[in-house]
Amino acid sequence: MTAQTDTTGPVTTVYKVSGMSCGHCEGAVSGEISQISGVSSVTAVASTGEVTVVSATPLDDDAVRAAVDEAGFELAGKA
Task: Give residue 2's pLDDT.
Answer: 47
* DSSP secondary structure letters along 3-35: --------EEEEEEEES--SHHHHHHHHHHHTT
**Calpha distance 66→8 (Å, rounded):** 27
| Mean pLDDT for all residues in the chain | 93
Residue 48 lies in a domain: yes
Residue 3 lies in a domain: no
Helix/strand/coil (H, E, C) string of 33-54? HCCCCCEEEEEEECCCCEEEEE
Residue 37 lies in a domain: yes
Residue 1 lies in a domain: no
The secondary structure element, H or E, covering residue 69 is helix 61-71
pLDDT confidence tier of residue 8, bands split at 50, 70 and 90: confident
Q: Based on the structure, what is the number of domains in the chain? A: 1
Task: Decide if pLDDT at 5 tops 60.
Answer: no
Task: Give residue 6's pLDDT.
Answer: 53
Task: Decide if pLDDT at 7 tops 60.
Answer: no
pTM for this predicted structure: 0.88
Residue 18 lies in a domain: yes
Task: Give residue 1's pLDDT.
Answer: 46
Domain of 74, CATH number, reads: 3.30.70.100
